[in-house]
C-alpha cells in the first residue's frame, strides 16, 4: 500500500544534551502533541522491511545550511551525542488532528559530512549499539579524548580576528592569524557570530584553510580556537594538561610474537 502524504507522514526527532530538532520531509509543517515538526527537504536510504528495518543503518541527505547540520558539526568537536528517532504520524480523515502511529527507527548520529552542496548524515541503529561488546574507548598511543570535552579537561585557547576575504575553503584574515594562536589552530575551529563552527585543517600565516567551503562576509569578526594533534608533546606544552592525557604512549613497539621475547 502506497503512503498517502496527506494522511501519513515521516517525523524525525533529533535530541542531544544541548538542543532538539523536529523535522519532516514533507511540504508542510506538522504540529503534534505540542511539538512542531518543520518542513525540510530530507532524503533517506531505503530501510529493510519487517524486523530487520530497526537494525538498518540510516543515511540522510539534507541542505547543508540548516540549523541541524550546524549543530552536528559543532557536536563533532565537543563530543556531544545526538539521538535520532523516525516516527510515523497519521491524520484522521475527518479532522485536522495528527497522532503518532508508531516508531520505525531509533539510533544515534555517527557523523556528518558536506559535499556537492549537500549534507550527509550517517546514523547507527540503537540495536546495533546495544549489541556491541566491550569498551568503546580506543587503546592507542594517541589521546582518544575529544578536545575540550569533560574527559579532556583542557581550557580552550581562543583569539578573535576579522575576515578580509573568503575564497572557497581559504579564509584570509585582517592582519593574519593572531600570534597567540598562530601555528596551533589546525584541528581547531573557526566560529562565526551566529555560532556556526567550521573545522580548520591548517593555517598559513595570512589566514586559515577550512575543511569545506564557506560563505563569510568580509569584516565579520570570527573566533579562532586552537586545535590539538592528540600527542603528549602538544598536550604538555600547549595545554599543560598531561595529567588528563587519554593515550598510552608507552605501548611497546616490539612485537614478541614476530621478533621473539629476547
Tell me 55's DSSP state: G
Q: At 205, which CATH number?
A: 2.40.30.20
Q: At 102, which CATH number?
A: 2.30.110
In total, how many domains does the chain have? 2
Last residue of a domain, one of 131, 150, 181: 131
> Are 93 and 193 found together in one domain?
no
> Are 123 and 23 found together in one domain?
yes
In angstroms, the CA 65 to CA 174 distance is: 26
- Residue range 153-176, pLDDT digits in tens: 999 999 999 999 999 889 999 999
Q: What's the confidence (pLDDT) of residue 52?
A: 65
Percent of the chain with pLDDT over 90: 42
In angstroms, the CA 42 to CA 50 distance is: 23
Q: What's the confidence (pLDDT) of residue 122?
A: 92
Q: Can you give the residue range of the structural domain that contains 217? A: 158-227
State pTM to two decimals: 0.57
> Are 17 and 117 found together in one domain?
yes
Cell of 262: 629476547
Q: What's the confidence (pLDDT) of residue 33?
A: 82
Across the range 82-108, mean pLDDT stands at 83
> Are 14 and 105 found together in one domain?
yes
> Are 44 and 110 found together in one domain?
yes
> Are 14 and 117 found together in one domain?
yes
- Residue range 45-85, pLDDT digits in tens: 988 766 666 678 899 999 988 999 988 888 876 677 899 99
Residue 170 contacts residue 178 (beta carbons within 8 Å): no
- Residue range 108-146, pLDDT digits in tens: 998 888 877 889 999 988 876 555 555 556 678 889 888
> Are 91 and 201 found together in one domain?
no
Please compute, for residue 158, the number of CA atoms within 13 A of its CA located in the half-sphere on the CB side: 13
Average pLDDT score over the chain: 85
Amino acid at each position: 500500500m502506497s503512503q498517502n502524504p496527506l494522511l501519513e507522514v515521516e517525523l524525525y526527532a533529533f535530541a542531544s544534551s544541548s538542543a532538539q530538532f523536529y523535522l519532516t520531509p514533507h511540504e508542510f509543517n506538522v504540529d503534534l502533541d505540542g511539538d512542531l515538526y518543520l518542513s525540510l527537504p530530507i532524503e533517506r536510504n531505503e530501510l529493510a522491511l519487517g524486523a530487520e528495518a530497526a537494525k538498518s543503518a540510516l543515511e540522510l541527505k539534507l541542505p547543508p545550511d540548516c540549523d541541524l547540520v550546524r549543530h552536528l558539526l559543532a557536536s563533532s568537536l565537543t563530543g556531544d551525542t545526538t539521538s535520532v528517532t523516525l516516527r510515523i504520524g497519521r491524520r484522521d480523515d475527518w479532522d485536522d488532528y495528527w497522532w503518532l502511529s508508531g516508531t520505525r527507527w531509533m539510533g544515534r548520529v555517527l557523523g556528518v559530512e558536506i559535499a556537492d552542496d549537500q549534507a550527509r548524515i550517517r546514523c547507527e541503529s540503537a540495536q546495533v549499539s546495544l549489541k556491541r561488546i566491550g569498551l568503546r574507548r580506543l587503546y592507542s598511543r594517541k589521546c582518544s579524548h575529544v578536545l575540550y570535552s569533560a574527559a579532556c579537561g583542557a581550557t580552550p585557547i581562543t583569539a578573535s580576528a576579522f575576515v578580509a576575504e573568503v575564497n572557497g575553503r581559504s579564509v584570509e584574515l585582517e592582519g593574519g592569524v593572531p600570534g597567540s594562536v598562530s601555528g596551533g589552530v589546525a584541528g581547531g575551529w573557526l566560529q562565526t557570530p551566529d555560532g556556526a563552527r567550521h573545522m580548520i585543517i591548517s593555517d598559513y600565516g595570512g589566514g586559515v584553510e577550512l575543511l569545506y567551503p564557506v560563505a563569510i562576509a568580509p569584516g565579520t569578526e570570527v573566533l579562532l580556537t586552537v586545535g590539538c594533534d592528540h600527542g603528549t608533546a602538544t598536550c604538555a606544552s600547549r595545554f599543560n594538561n598531561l595529567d588528563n592525557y587519554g593515550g598510552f604512549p608507552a605501548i611497546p613497539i616490539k612485537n614478541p610474537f614476530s621478533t621473539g621475547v629476547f
